Amino acid sequence: MNKSERVRFIISHLEKLYPKTPVPLNNQNNYELLIAVLLSAQCTDERVNQVTPSLFSKANRPDKMVKLSIDEIYKIIRPCGLAPQKSKAIFNLSEILILKHKGEVPSNFEDLEALPGVGHKTASVVMSQGFGYPAFPVDTHIHRLAQRWGLTNGKNVTQTEKDLKRLFPRNLWNKLHLQIIFYGREFCTARGCNGTICEICKTCYPKRVKPVKTKK
């Protein structure tokens, strides 16, 4: 298969497996989404979904969050990785949302990425899932799969995002990003597939024998 054929097969195969793509992180508004995505860094979505009900029952808006202390936030989110840094970021970004954005989550990359603890990937998820803006958030897992499937040269997540946006139609980005995550968790896991085992890897590279060494 050439690259165009791989792209068409991947789109078709993922659509058959995942015609619906529910948002993995439970949330009721864009502020909750922003906080949940921030918490998901170096933490599983499952654990985030276990932690956020307690947090959001106390504070599901910036004005409520700043009434909690950083220590109170920390005690709730402690099961998540990097909890000390995240608790400070949650409190500080909530203050900024109140002071600069009237308590609302901004709907553009520049303002989102200026918030404490919010990088490009987090901003992309919020823009995609919260505002419906075409984005292609790339985490290390999507980065690894894109390498296995021959869609990028694998230098870094920034380059992978550019390559995926170039290869896939813009109107599919938001759904595809979730479909790839779901597929990676179920079939093309870090330990369960080395580039030669899952259906996409085998179909795209039927003659591949050696495992794919992915680059971070």
Phi, psi of 36 (to 5 degrees): -65, -40
The CA-atom distances, in angstroms, between 203 and each of 6, 7, 192 are 8, 12, 16
Task: Name, in order, each residue with C-beta under 8 angstroms of 168's C-beta and a sequence gap of 6 or more.
Answer: 7, 11, 136, 176
Task: Tell me phi and psi for residue 189, to 5 degrees.
Answer: -75, 170
Q: Encoding tokens for residue 197?
A: 């085992």
Nearest to 106 by CA among 131, 86, 141: 131
> What does the buried/exposed string (b/e) look like for 173-190 if buried means 16 or more CB atoms within 10 Å of the residue's CB?
bbbbbbbbbebbeebbbe
Distances (CA, A) of 9 to 3, 56, 184: 10, 41, 16
Task: Kindly list the catalytic residues.
Answer: 121, 139
Task: Give Cα 191 distance to the centre of its chain.
Answer: 20
Token pair, residue 12, equals: 């078709």
